[in-house]
Structure 1
């Protein structure tokens, strides 16, 4: 099975469910903090591949919900700078296996990529209420 480096927002209940599903599917999960990682443009950019820039963003981020940041109006470079300065803007989780990187948790895409077991539990991309106090 796969060794997944899994960047999460600590305390995010959605990320906890995603990690649980990966582990139940036989994968080894190495959880890291998305917010304390010292991101650079070159370390962050591979997670987004050919995905359109607006899809790089966490739609639940307070700055996006308030309209302060409009993902439709930023360039890739601007997006990376914003995300380095405010990691809560990053769509999560970020996952890396070897040289392959992905942003977000689409169960069907993850299943095609590394395989997931059917658990009967709904696990999606969004963050539910956090174990602590999830605002984004």
Structure 2
């Protein structure tokens, strides 16, 4: 099984469920705080691969929801600069196994990469919080 370095927003319910699913699938999970990690543009860029820039963003981030940041209008360099300044903009989770890095928790993609237990419920990326906070907000 894989050792997964899992960059999360601490307290995010979906990230908690995603880590539990990885562990139930036999993987070891090393959780790291996405918001406080000392990112460089190059390190962060490696997680996005050949995905379009718009797919790099956390759609629940307040600045995205309010229209201040429009992912579809961003170029890669500007997107990385914005994310380094405001890590809430980064789509979660970021995962690394060996040299491979991925963004987001797309169950089919994760299963094809490292495997997921079929009998486990698969959490999505949308935040289910009902306490008035958005997953994009800093707790």
- Map of 1:109 onto structure 2: 109
Cα offset, 1:36, TM superposition: 0.3
Aligned equivalent of 1:124: 124
Query: What is the distance in 1 between the residues matched to 2:107 and 2:122?
Result: 9
Consecutive unaligned residues of structure 2, counting only runs of 5 or more, are none
2:75 corresponds to: 75
SS in 2 for 1:5: strand
User: Retained in 1: the 8 A contact 2:60–2:134?
Assistant: no
TM-superposed CA distance for 1:127, in Å, is: 2.5
Q: Is the 8 A contact 1:34 1:87 kept in 2?
A: yes
- Structure 1 residue ranges, 4+ long, deviating more than 6 angstroms after superposition: none
1:18 equivalenced with 2:18 (yes/no) = yes
Aligned to 1:49: 49
* Structure 1 vs Structure 2 CA RMSD: 1.6
Query: 1:93 maps to what in 2?
Result: 93
TM-score, reference length from structure 2: 0.93
In 2, the alpha carbon distance for the partners of 1:34 and 1:92 equals 8
1:60 corresponding residue in structure 2: 60
Alignment check: 8 A CA contact 2:93 2:103 kept: yes
Measured after TM superposition, the shift of residue 128 of structure 1 is 2.2
CA contact (8 A) 1:14 1:125 kept: yes
